[in-house]
Amino acid sequence: MRIRVLLLLGAIVPLLVYAGQGSAATELNDYPTVARADYVFACMKTNGDTRPALEKCSCSIDVIASLLPYARYVDAETVLSLAQVPGVFGSMFRNSEQAKSAANDLRRAQAEAEVRCF
Protein backbone atom coordinates (compact mmCIF):
# COMPACT_ATOMS: atom_id res chain seq x y z
CA MET A 1 0.00 0.00 0.00
CA ARG A 2 2.78 2.41 0.94
CA ILE A 3 4.60 1.73 -2.34
CA ARG A 4 1.43 2.48 -4.33
CA VAL A 5 1.02 5.81 -2.58
CA LEU A 6 4.66 6.71 -3.26
CA LEU A 7 4.33 5.71 -6.91
CA LEU A 8 1.13 7.72 -7.24
CA LEU A 9 2.75 10.77 -5.64
CA GLY A 10 5.78 10.31 -7.89
CA ALA A 11 3.49 10.50 -10.91
CA ILE A 12 1.29 13.37 -9.70
CA VAL A 13 3.87 15.79 -8.29
CA PRO A 14 5.75 16.33 -11.60
CA LEU A 15 2.42 16.97 -13.34
CA LEU A 16 1.47 19.60 -10.78
CA VAL A 17 4.86 21.26 -11.07
CA TYR A 18 4.60 21.24 -14.87
CA ALA A 19 1.08 22.70 -14.78
CA GLY A 20 2.22 25.48 -12.47
CA GLN A 21 5.13 26.34 -14.75
CA GLY A 22 2.85 26.55 -17.76
CA SER A 23 0.65 29.22 -16.26
CA ALA A 24 3.62 31.26 -15.07
CA ALA A 25 5.21 30.97 -18.50
CA THR A 26 1.97 32.10 -20.12
CA GLU A 27 1.85 35.17 -17.91
CA LEU A 28 5.44 36.07 -18.78
CA ASN A 29 5.05 35.26 -22.47
CA ASP A 30 1.89 37.01 -23.59
CA TYR A 31 3.50 38.37 -26.77
CA PRO A 32 2.50 36.36 -29.86
CA THR A 33 5.36 34.91 -31.87
CA VAL A 34 4.47 37.03 -34.89
CA ALA A 35 4.77 40.24 -32.81
CA ARG A 36 8.17 39.17 -31.52
CA ALA A 37 9.32 38.23 -35.02
CA ASP A 38 8.07 41.53 -36.45
CA TYR A 39 10.01 43.45 -33.80
CA VAL A 40 13.17 41.41 -34.40
CA PHE A 41 13.00 41.87 -38.20
CA ALA A 42 12.60 45.65 -37.87
CA CYS A 43 15.33 45.83 -35.23
CA MET A 44 17.71 43.80 -37.40
CA LYS A 45 17.11 46.13 -40.39
CA THR A 46 18.10 49.01 -38.16
CA ASN A 47 21.14 47.23 -36.71
CA GLY A 48 22.73 45.52 -39.68
CA ASP A 49 21.06 42.17 -40.47
CA THR A 50 23.83 40.19 -38.80
CA ARG A 51 23.86 37.27 -36.40
CA PRO A 52 24.93 39.53 -33.48
CA ALA A 53 22.04 41.87 -34.38
CA LEU A 54 19.64 38.90 -34.27
CA GLU A 55 20.84 37.99 -30.79
CA LYS A 56 20.65 41.57 -29.52
CA CYS A 57 17.24 42.22 -31.08
CA SER A 58 15.72 39.01 -29.74
CA CYS A 59 17.11 39.90 -26.31
CA SER A 60 15.59 43.34 -26.69
CA ILE A 61 12.03 42.13 -27.34
CA ASP A 62 12.37 39.69 -24.44
CA VAL A 63 13.27 42.57 -22.12
CA ILE A 64 10.42 44.70 -23.46
CA ALA A 65 8.00 41.80 -22.98
CA SER A 66 9.16 41.38 -19.39
CA LEU A 67 8.49 45.05 -18.64
CA LEU A 68 5.39 45.85 -20.68
CA PRO A 69 2.21 43.79 -21.06
CA TYR A 70 1.40 42.98 -24.67
CA ALA A 71 -1.79 45.07 -24.68
CA ARG A 72 0.18 48.13 -23.61
CA TYR A 73 2.82 47.37 -26.28
CA VAL A 74 0.10 47.28 -28.95
CA ASP A 75 -1.32 50.56 -27.66
CA ALA A 76 2.08 52.23 -27.82
CA GLU A 77 2.92 50.87 -31.28
CA THR A 78 -0.44 52.09 -32.56
CA VAL A 79 0.03 55.53 -31.03
CA LEU A 80 3.53 55.89 -32.47
CA SER A 81 2.33 54.82 -35.91
CA LEU A 82 -0.73 57.08 -35.97
CA ALA A 83 1.18 60.04 -34.55
CA GLN A 84 3.10 60.14 -37.84
CA VAL A 85 -0.07 60.97 -39.77
CA PRO A 86 -0.07 64.67 -40.64
CA GLY A 87 -2.89 67.02 -39.71
CA VAL A 88 -5.61 66.94 -37.11
CA PHE A 89 -5.93 63.15 -37.03
CA GLY A 90 -2.24 62.68 -36.23
CA SER A 91 -2.28 65.48 -33.68
CA MET A 92 -4.81 63.52 -31.60
CA PHE A 93 -2.10 60.90 -31.12
CA ARG A 94 0.72 63.38 -30.63
CA ASN A 95 -1.03 65.55 -28.04
CA SER A 96 -3.25 63.22 -26.01
CA GLU A 97 -2.00 62.45 -22.50
CA GLN A 98 -3.03 58.79 -22.82
CA ALA A 99 -1.15 58.50 -26.10
CA LYS A 100 1.93 60.17 -24.66
CA SER A 101 1.82 57.87 -21.64
CA ALA A 102 1.62 54.72 -23.79
CA ALA A 103 4.46 55.89 -26.04
CA ASN A 104 6.60 56.82 -23.04
CA ASP A 105 6.06 53.40 -21.46
CA LEU A 106 7.34 51.74 -24.64
CA ARG A 107 10.28 54.14 -24.91
CA ARG A 108 11.30 53.40 -21.32
CA ALA A 109 11.11 49.65 -21.98
CA GLN A 110 13.14 50.08 -25.18
CA ALA A 111 15.75 52.12 -23.30
CA GLU A 112 16.07 49.38 -20.68
CA ALA A 113 16.37 46.79 -23.46
CA GLU A 114 19.08 48.88 -25.09
CA VAL A 115 21.06 48.96 -21.84
CA ARG A 116 20.68 45.24 -21.19
CA CYS A 117 21.13 43.90 -24.73
CA PHE A 118 23.27 46.25 -26.81
DSSP per-residue letters across 3-67: HHHHHHHHHHHHHHHHHHHHHHHHHH--S-HHHHHHHHHHHHHHHTSSHHHHHHHHHHHHHHHHH
Domain shared by 66 and 8, yes or no: no
Domain shared by 73 and 106, yes or no: yes
- pLDDT band for 27, please (50, 70, 90 cuts): low
Domain shared by 35 and 25, yes or no: no
Domain shared by 101 and 75, yes or no: yes
The answer on pLDDT for 40 being more than 60 is yes
Distance CA 118, CA 109 (A): 14
Domain shared by 49 and 90, yes or no: yes
Distance CA 13, CA 21 (A): 12
Give the pLDDT of residue 55. 98
Domain shared by 35 and 23, yes or no: no
Domain containing 72 equals 31-117
- Read off the pLDDT of residues 51-101 as tens digits, 9 standing for 90 and up: 999 999 999 999 999 999 999 999 999 999 999 999 998 998 889 999 999
Domain shared by 1 and 42, yes or no: no
Domain shared by 92 and 106, yes or no: yes
Domain shared by 96 and 53, yes or no: yes
* Residues 83, 90 contacting (CB under 8 angstroms): yes
Query: Domain total for the chain?
Result: 2
Domain shared by 46 and 97, yes or no: yes
Distance CA 98, CA 76 (A): 10
Distance CA 93, CA 37 (A): 26
Domain shared by 93 and 50, yes or no: yes
Domain shared by 100 and 61, yes or no: yes
